[in-house]
Structure 1
């Protein structure tokens, strides 16, 4: 199998740090990574000038047997759905040409997750790689990469149907619980009336041992619940939420008992997005005090001396501590300093009062939402509470009446109600026990949320009005910030271009550098 390899050498540049891309090309058939070309110091005058080499990509002219073929394994299917969706959203937002750091900061993913997701997407959508003159690896995707991925992956094609099925099941559960309240009231009070009527007939006729049967027959089909079915429920629910409209009675019953779900669902993803975007917009160098408004600290006391709370951020975005000239500890995130986007980074004059204006689209601090007991209105809550009370009262009365008739063998409708009476008791009791328990839990949760929000807000205010030491620390972080934009002019290798052409360009680069060295 014929192959062509390229080895480029560059003069070293003045940089505060050196990044070493660790991209794996195992998903790309016919592409292999080679070790750096052997280099040796070259003597120029009285100085030894080392030649800097970067990882070389070897592309084969032949396509191996492990190539992606129709019907073969789809690498994207191995990713968690959440990671895949967030990665694709970041790729779309950044224009389809990204670095690992771009996706990590935009989607809030850790660097390993972003790298694996980009490799899988590029493999399945005919994306290609670009390598810069400093060894940075960029991922470039075609505009129709989503269509290509959907055509290859059955999982992605069926995901919308699965989501609709889940939404339908959730709605059916909500409808069933509200319907059960109406059904319970009807059954309980119909049985009470039937027992009273039977006793009255028995007293009038003077008979004993008569079975308590009113002639009623009971038939229930699960398909009756679909009378409430609305295929556009969630669409209407969102519209009602936007217009502050009230929910219907069936929904309000479920909301009163079980609530409306976690208001902070998915908020951890938003937290990491905020942190990643804040670091990237500040040139990849920040102080611990700048990260505090987005993290969970119990108190502001001791935060200045103990900065261990930034460790999760360092691990997620591959950060490292550095000491400035004044002895302040700052945190650099090299991967977030290399970007394919030309967005401007924060400048050092944006410190203090103007910090709140500069933050712009990024939230000043991470705010958790408080839990609500129920989104129902006061009138709807009163109606649900009243019907629940009527049902509970009826169950208590019916229980006493059934005990009086325990020696008699009922039949028909009354026998059916007697058999399911324990379920009616559980339903009537839990109808108030569950909301009461939720009320205590929500009260404690909201107290904790309020404390955390207050601490984060205090850190954010400290950044708006920093003292002298904090101001100098923030200015030092802005001075150390860097933002390297990798434009098309800095690309020296691409898997999308002809290999022979790139080999010629590489040799031409090397010839020009040799001429420059000789002229010095």
Structure 2
């Protein structure tokens, strides 16, 4: 009965007790510390610890005696407790974003069509006016207005005709226009889940080809994550794949994933590709030009109607004919002149002007944020190259890594990039001493303890017997009625 209570326990309750124990112990401690505070069985503490570390973004240290010290520099706030509220907020945000996106497209296309319709009406009115005038001087004004409006209509039609072959447009399978507008304004939809799967695939491939053992520095080389982010990442991996942190007799910390080794096929090598930079959009250039044209057209017409409402257009000049037509249509519907004037000022002037400003402003602000994110992507890609160089020869590290593409061109060439590489080296070394051997300009770095830990891990891997991960002989086959 006692055995059942040890192995069959209320998981969430024990998890809360462990978190409380770390809070009382200044957010750090060993398994023994937790047991002494809570009185819980060792099995229960060790079972929930991976979940606690992951949920509270904890990290692990190794002491001189080889003991694992768990610590939580970001506090003991549980991410899972805020998940429901976060999910609710995310749902509201998605609904709001969807409605905002619909509004964006409706306004863009709607105002464009409205302005074009007013221009066409003005063209018809201009033709009728010129036909009714018999005086050459008066007819000249009408013809001038007709010419100005017809040139604008012709300009729009030419843009449409030369934007691409209509047959090609019908044959090419492109994204719907409304999705292209969404992407122009809000950018490409991020896919962190897909990248996370690729990272896990790379780690699993490495673990399966290296006796199921992984170090934090190897994770940094694979993913380009900082030490802090790699610590958080390995905490999730330990929870997801039933891994466990281990310390060798020499004090080398590594992570073992024995469950990943029990496969029916030989593992294939998979290397994580470089992370792509965030583009402005993935729309075809011609589509973006059309979107810019539509909004630019709306912006110009909104300024035109604002100018007319503010009295900046001479009513006797041909250029004011579209504005005069808009007023005439409003007055003919029975509204007062002052009411129509205010309506034109707000509906055809202020609203589309502010919308056009917003339409171009959001992508501009978004791009500023994406540039900052692209700098981080370049840093992660560059860190992968530098960490790989460090791990290749820990006792003779030449920090002469140069980018080979825009995706990993982090830092400016020269002293800034050299300082960045040295910063990455000290991050990898952590608390291990870093030696500088030689004198400038011919010098290199060395981290002897890192090389010793690598030798230690190589010995541990060599001692792992692959046969213990063998699946063994098949003793039952559900697809066969014959005994195996």
TM-score normalised by L of structure 2: 0.44
As a proportion of its length, which structure holds more helix? 2
TM-score normalised by L of structure 1: 0.41
